[in-house]
Every structure is written in structure tokens, then in C-alpha cells.
Amino acid sequence: KTFDVAVVGATGAVGETMLGILAERKFPVGKIYALASSRSAGNTVLFGSKSVVVEDLAEFDFSKVQIALFSAGGSISAEYAPKAGAAGCVVIDNTSHFRYDPEIPLVVPEVNPAAVADYKKHNIIANPNCSTIQMLVALKPIYDAVGITRINVATYQAVSGTGKEAVNELAGQTAKLLNGQPAEAEVYPTQIAFNVLPHIDVFQDNGYTKEEMKMVWETQKIFGDAEIKVNPTCVRVPVFYGHSEAVHIETRTKITADEVRSLLQKAPGVELMDERQDGGYPTPVKQACGHDPVYVGRIREDISCDLGLNLWVVADNVRKGAALNSVQIAEILIKDYL
Ligand code: A2P
């Protein structure tokens, strides 16, 4: 049995990777449709080794496909995902637009796969924020074993999370500055090359940014735990691919670093890399970039707090943080529901 699939935003950083991962994992695709704006219609993108002509989203008839993977921005999803759902196809949406709707499931396959069942109301499943996904894949085994009451997290997020223009901005600014020329900022409010910006997405009334609040809301929804406390600081760093996170948790009952290491050794989607020596920890460039696992290292008991534990969590934000997670949701969908 095969499924006809549309990728919306197929020319973008995430869309291109969605096509690549569908091919790589041998998803049973019948016909593939690559959709983007009218500006890109007629261009081609790659689906495995095959090239596919890009079509204009505005003219596409979603009754031709059974599954649509959306990653073209929140306003595009707001307009087209309900239409696609009404036409009978199941939308897996990578934007934040539907994530907090109680009628729409928000799924990380390693954490809450059963939530996929709720897609039927609107034919839409939301893919969580990249930073939330990798954090929860790493924390799920600990949460199940001893409970987690509070999470303090500081992120170190790559520019590819913003999109292709941001990747170009970091490369362009770096080249200019190394050539003694001034660097102009267009995508970010100020220079990102050789710099660090404690600001991702828009500021909220409470002083946190929307990216930070996504980690709060999404952790509670995915764990199904309205009581879990999350205190995030989200930071953009001059890295192209791969988000890192310093995660500091407080558990309900005591767990040792050794116990956490043995739990994570066998956790789905996790790769443990925790040697207490030079280079014995994961980094975005050397481990995560281009790979599927969520890498975890630097596991330590918190010396300042009895029930505290620290971890360093790194993953490819475009793959596990977006495209791969969406394709894994589609795999559950075809295995159990379609
Ligand atoms: P296009 O290349 O035609 O602008 P990124 O996040 O890497 O910047 O990618 C954004 C993706 O969303 C691209 O594929 C882009 O297509 C697509 N997109 C942006 N605006 C629209 C639109 N109005 N209709 C359809 N696709 C859009």
C-alpha cells in the first residue's frame, strides 16, 4: 500500500529535509507533490535522487493526497491546513499555529505516540517546537522512572531554525567580517556572526519570549502534566545546524547520575555520549548535524540541590527538531490508522 504525499514549503530548510527523509526511510510514497509559493513554482527540488517540479500551493487540490507535511510558516498553515484537512488528507503541521489547541494532538513519537489517535477531529496533528522535542526525548525515561517537578533550561539554538535566509545571513556576515567589512543584520535584530542573542521569537507580556513559552506550554501538553514547571532561556548562537541545551531538572524522588545513564542507554531515539574526558560529550557540528538521534552527555547530580540533575542535550534541529519528527508521526499514522 502506498500513500500520496504533499510537502508544503518544499523549497525551505525543513521542507527539503522532509523530502530527503521520506526517501531515506523508504516511506511508502505513491505520488509526491512539492508545494511552495508561486515564486518557486516550476523550479525543481530533490526527492531522493528524483527531481520533482515545485507547484504553487494556492492552486493545489488536497483531495489528491492522503498526507500533507506543512512547514511554510504559521499564516500559511492557518489558511491551508484546515482546507487540506477538510479535503480528507491528514496534515502534520510543523508550525506553532495549532499546537495549543486542545482538540489538536501535539506529538513526539518517543514520548506520547498514542496522542496521534486524536487527529480525527480536524485531520491535523501538530509537530512540536524543535527545542521542546529534543528535551522531552531525553527527559521521558527519567520522567517515567522518578517524576520531574521542575525544569530549568538554557538553549543554544542554531540559525537554521529560523530558515534559509538566516543560514545565509550567518554565512554572509561571517565572510564580510573576516574581510574587514561591516556586517548588516536583516533577519536578526542585530549581528549574529561571532555573537550570541538572548532572544528567539517575539517578546511576551511576562518578559519571556514566545520560544521560551513554547517550551513551557508544549512540555505540559506532551507530558500531559499541567503541574510540571519549566523555566527556559532561549538563546540564538552562530551555529548553522544543531541545537544544544543545558537542562537542569528537579525530580520527585532521588535518581543518581549512573541510574540516569543506564536509563538513557536504552532509551528510544537517544544516543548516550558521556565520557568524562576531552571531547567525550556531544556537540552540534561533530555529532548532531545530519544525524537522527538526540545526543545526551554531561550527566551530573546537581551539587546545589538534593533532587537536582544536569544534562547536556544536542540534536539536529532540522531533522529530529522538525522534519524527522514529522515523518515519524506520519509513520505511526500509516501503521496504526490509515
Ligand atoms: P518559497 O521558496 O516559494 O518562498 P524557510 O523557512 O527555509 O525560509 O522556508 C519557507 C518555506 O515556506 C519555503 O518553501 C517557501 O516557499 C514557503 N512559503 C513561504 N511563503 C509561502 C506562500 N505564500 N505560499 C506557499 N509557500 C510559501
Write the pLDDT tens digit of every residue in 240-268. 999 999 999 999 999 999 999 999 999 99
Using the mean position of ligand 1's atoms as its centre, give its distance from the Cα of residue 44 in Å: 14
pTM: 0.98
For ligand 1, what atom is nearest to the CA of residue 73?
12
The whole-angstrom separation of Cα 24 and Cα 254 is 41
Contact 12, 74 (CB under 8 A): no
Does the C-beta of 15 come closer than 6 Å to ligand 1? yes
Interface pTM, i.e. ipTM:
0.98
> Which residue has the CA at smallest separation from atom 18 of ligand 1?
72
Write the pLDDT tens digit of every residue in 106-134. 999 999 999 999 999 999 999 999 999 99
Contact 17, 318 (CB under 8 A): yes
Residue 277 main-chain phi, psi, to 5 deg: -155, 170
**Confidence tier at 5 by pLDDT (50, 70, 90):** very high
Q: Which of 319, 327, 329 is nearest to 14 (CA)?
A: 319
The whole-angstrom separation of Cα 64 and Cα 74 is 23
Among 37, 43, 186, say which to mutate for ligand 1: greatest number of ligand atoms within 8 Å of CB.
Answer: 37
For each of the domains in the chain, give its residue range(s) and CATH number, in order of start. 3-127+322-336 (3.40.50.720), 131-317 (3.30.360.10)
Residue 49, exposed/middle/buried by CB under 10 A (0-12, 13-18, 19+)?
A: exposed
Q: Residue 208 is inside which H or E element, if any?
A: none
Among 33, 76, 317, say which to mutate for ligand 1: greatest number of ligand atoms within 8 Å of CB.
Answer: 76
Q: What is the mean pLDDT of residues 125-152?
A: 98
Q: Which positions are annotated as active-site residues?
A: 130, 243
**Confidence tier at 284 by pLDDT (50, 70, 90):** very high
For 282, half-sphere exposure in the C-beta direction (CA atoms, 13 angstrom radius) is 27
The residues near 198 (Cβ < 8 Å, ≥ 6 apart) are 233, 234, 235
The fraction of the chain above a pLDDT of 90, given in percent, is 100
Write the pLDDT tens digit of every residue in 70-91. 999 999 999 999 999 999 999 9
Q: What is the mean pLDDT of residues 140-160?
A: 98
